[in-house]
Structure 1
Amino acid sequence: MGKAKNAENDSTKVYANEAAMDIEVLDTAHQISSDSWFQVAFVLTTGVNSAYVLGYAGSIMVPLGWVGGVVGLLLATAISLYANGLIAKLHEHGGTRHIRYRDLAGYIYGKRAYSLTWALQYVNLFMINTGYIILAGSALKAFYALFRDDDQMKLPHFIAIAGVACGMFAICIPHLSALGIWLGVSTVFSTTYSIIAIVLSIKDGIRSPARDYSMPGDDDTSKVFSTIGSAASLVFAFNTGMVPEIQATIRKPVVKNMMLALYFQFTVGLVPFFAVVFAGYWAYGSSTGAYLFNNVTGPIWVKGLANISAFLQAVIALHIFASPMYEYLDTKFEIKGSSLNIKNLLFRIGVRGGYLTFNTFVAALLPFLGDFMSLTGAISTLPLTFILANHMYLVAKGDKLASSQKLWHWFNIVFFSIASLAATVAAIRLIVVDSRTYHVFADI
Structure 2
Amino acid sequence: MESQGREDVVGCSGAGGRVHSDGHIDIEIPETAHQISNDSWFQAGFVLTTGINSAYVLGYPGAVMVPLGWIGGVIGLILATVVSLHANALVAKLHDFGGKRRIRYRDLAGSIYGGKAYSITWGMQYVNLVMINVGYIILAGNSLKAVYLLFRDDHVMKLPHFIAIAGLACGLFAISVPHLSALRNWLAFSTLFSMIYIVGGIALAIKDGFKAPPRDYSIPGTKTSRIFTTIGASANLVFSFNTGMLPEIQATVRPPVVENMMKGLYFQFTVGVVPMYAIIFAGYWAYGSTTSSYLLNNVHGPIWLKTTTNISAFLQSVIALHIFASPMYEFLDTKYGIKGSALAVRNLSFRILVRGGYVAMTSLVSALLPFLGDFMSLTGALSTFPLTFILANHMYLVANRNKMSLLQKNWHWLNVVLFSCMAVAAAVAALRLIAVDSRTYHVFADI
- Tell me what 1:134 maps to: 138
- Tell me what 2:26 maps to: none
For residues 163-242 of structure 1, what are the structure 2 equivalents within 5 Å?
A: 163-217=167-221, 219-242=222-245
Aligned partner letter, 2:142:
S
- Tell me what 1:78 maps to: 82
1: CA distance between counterparts of 2:372 and 2:226?
21
- Tell me what 1:365 maps to: 368
Q: 2:112 aligns with which of 101, 108, 128?
A: 108
- Tell me what 2:424 maps to: 421
1: CA distance between counterparts of 2:38 and 2:18?
14
- Tell me what 1:354 maps to: 357
1: CA distance between counterparts of 2:19 and 2:412?
29
Q: 1:270 aligns with which of 269, 273, 284?
A: 273
Mapped contact 1:14–1:97 kept (Cα < 8 A): no
Q: Secondary structure at the match of 1:151?
A: coil
- Aligned-pair CA distance for 1:375: 1.9
Aligned partner letter, 2:320:
A
Where structure 2 has 5 or more consecutive residues not aligned to the other structure, the ranges are 2-7, 21-28
- Tell me what 2:103 maps to: 99
Q: Secondary structure at the match of 1:268?
A: coil
Mapped contact 1:190–1:309 kept (Cα < 8 A): yes
- Aligned-pair CA distance for 1:436: 1.0
Deviations 1:365-405 (A, max 9, x none): 11225424422321211011101000000000011001110
- Tell me what 2:93 maps to: 89
Aligned partner letter, 2:363:
T
- Aligned-pair CA distance for 1:7: 4.8
1: CA distance between counterparts of 2:348 and 2:381?
37
1: CA distance between counterparts of 2:334 and 2:406?
42
2: CA distance between counterparts of 1:135 and 1:264?
26
- Tell me what 1:317 maps to: 320
Where structure 1 has 5 or more consecutive residues not aligned to the other structure, the ranges are 17-24
- Tell me what 2:289 maps to: 286
- Tell me what 1:440 maps to: 443
- Aligned-pair CA distance for 1:8: 7.2
Distance 1:5 1:434, change over 3 A: closer
2: CA distance between counterparts of 1:134 and 1:255?
35
- Tell me what 2:402 maps to: 399
Q: 1:344 aligns with which of 347, 359, 366?
A: 347
Aligned partner letter, 1:191:
M
Q: 1:37 aligns with which of 37, 41, 45?
A: 41
Q: Secondary structure at the match of 1:28?
A: coil
- Tell me what 2:148 maps to: 144
RMSD: 1.6
- Aligned-pair CA distance for 1:6: 6.0
> How many residue pairs end up in the alignment?
431
Q: 1:47 aligns with which of 45, 51, 54?
A: 51
1: CA distance between counterparts of 2:211 and 2:107?
54
Instruction: Report the TM-score, using the length of structure 2 for normalisation.
Output: 0.94
Q: 1:408 aligns with which of 401, 407, 411?
A: 411
Mapped contact 2:10–2:19 kept (Cα < 8 A): no
Mapped contact 1:174–1:339 kept (Cα < 8 A): yes
2: CA distance between counterparts of 1:7 and 1:42?
32
1: CA distance between counterparts of 2:74 and 2:18?
42
Instruction: Report the TM-score, using the length of structure 1 for normalisation.
Output: 0.95
Deviant stretches of 4+, over 3 Å = 4-9, 12-16
Q: Secondary structure at the match of 2:199?
A: helix
Aligned partner letter, 1:73:
L
2: CA distance between counterparts of 1:5 and 1:379?
40
2: CA distance between counterparts of 1:173 and 1:261?
23
Deviations 1:46-71 (A, max 9, x none): 11000000010000000100000000
1: CA distance between counterparts of 2:132 and 2:18?
27
Mapped contact 1:60–1:230 kept (Cα < 8 A): yes
Instruction: Indicate the percent of aligned positions where both proteins have the same amino acid.
Output: 69
Q: Secondary structure at the match of 2:59?
A: helix
